Chain A
Amino acid sequence: DIVMTQSPDSLAVSLGERATINCKSSQSVLYSSNNKNYLAWYQQKPGQPPKLLIYWASTRESGVPDRFSGSGSGTDFTLTISSLQAEDVAVYYCQQYLFIPLTFGGGTKVDIK
């Protein structure tokens, strides 16, 4: 199975500051046939289901604020929140969907400093 490793486990950032979450896959999730990275990011707030933020590693889902951005390729990926807002407090998960079983990272908890 593909192991997705997120870092850090948690971080606290001041309002308006940048938050950066890393995700590393044990194998490349770049599919050579279409040159797409099969990597998604989700946000989960307490008591709620996950919400899709980013897919294909860098495509923002409709309605997601542009302060959220995804980058990276192959095995190393990053989710960046450019200016943290109070409503961004949540746990963030990366997921690879190239290989079966689909696998998630362990999650990164983001709080306000």
Chain B
Amino acid sequence: QVQLVESGGGVVQPGGSLRLSCAASGFTFSSYGMHWVRQAPGKGLEWVTFIRYDGAIQFYADSVKGRFTISRDSSRNTVYLQMNSLRAEDTAMYYCAKVGYHDPSGHPYYSDYWGQGTLVTVSS
């Protein structure tokens, strides 16, 4: 069965950095794009970033562009989110999610599986 397990969250000061990981299993990792989606406490869902199945294409929300970097390692079946210059408004639960549709073009489709999330708190 598909499993996505996030890790790396924690408390960090404004301006600091954090790297999140998402370990995937139960599917052919190298065939599917992956998303990161976040949810601030008590708020709705916000798409953050997407990476194509081969890592060659990435897209970012304007709110994180230039500060966050998504990457993947198919040898480890893991996707990463490097977060730099963190702000209070980045405080949220961060979910990784598998794209539900394989398309070689790299279009970011809907998500059919989600991890349980890892909590990032940016506070002094």
CB pair A101 B61 closer than 8 Å: yes
Interface of A is mostly: loop
Question: Contact string, B56-81, partner A, CB cutoff 8 A, digits 1/0?
Answer: 00010110000000000000000000
CB pair A104 B117 closer than 8 Å: no
CB pair A104 B45 closer than 8 Å: yes
In the assembled complex, how far is the CB of residue B104 from the closest CB belonging to chain A, in whole angstroms? 15
Which residues from chain B contact A51 at a C-beta distance below 8 Å?
Answer: 114
* CB-based nearest B residue for A61: B112
| B111 in the interface (beta carbon within 8 A) | yes
Q: Which of B47, B100, B111 makes the CB contact (< 8 A) with A103?
A: B47
How many residue pairs bridge A and B at CB < 8 Å?
57
In the assembled complex, how far is the CB of residue A46 from the closest CB belonging to chain B, in whole angstroms? 11
Count of B residues near A, CB < 8 Å?
Answer: 24
In the assembled complex, how far is the CB of residue B87 from the closest CB belonging to chain A, in whole angstroms? 18
Residue of B50, B110, B116 with most chain A CB atoms under a 10 A cut-off: B110
Question: How many angstroms from the CA of A50 to the CA of B4 in the assembled complex?
Answer: 13
CB pair B100 A55 closer than 8 Å: yes
Question: How many angstroms from the CA of A49 to the CA of B46 in the assembled complex?
Answer: 13
CB pair A107 B44 closer than 8 Å: yes
| A72 in the interface (beta carbon within 8 A) | no
Within 8 A of A (CB), among B96-119: 100-101, 107-117
In addition to A50-B45, A102-B35, 15 A-B residue pairs with Cβ atoms within 8 Å of each other are A40-B110, A49-B114, A49-B117, A50-B37, A50-B114, A52-B100, A52-B111, A55-B109, A55-B112, A97-B110, A100-B108, A102-B47, A103-B47, A104-B47, A107-B45
Binding site for A on B (CB under 8 A): 35, 37, 44-47, 50, 59, 61-62, 95, 100-101, 107-117
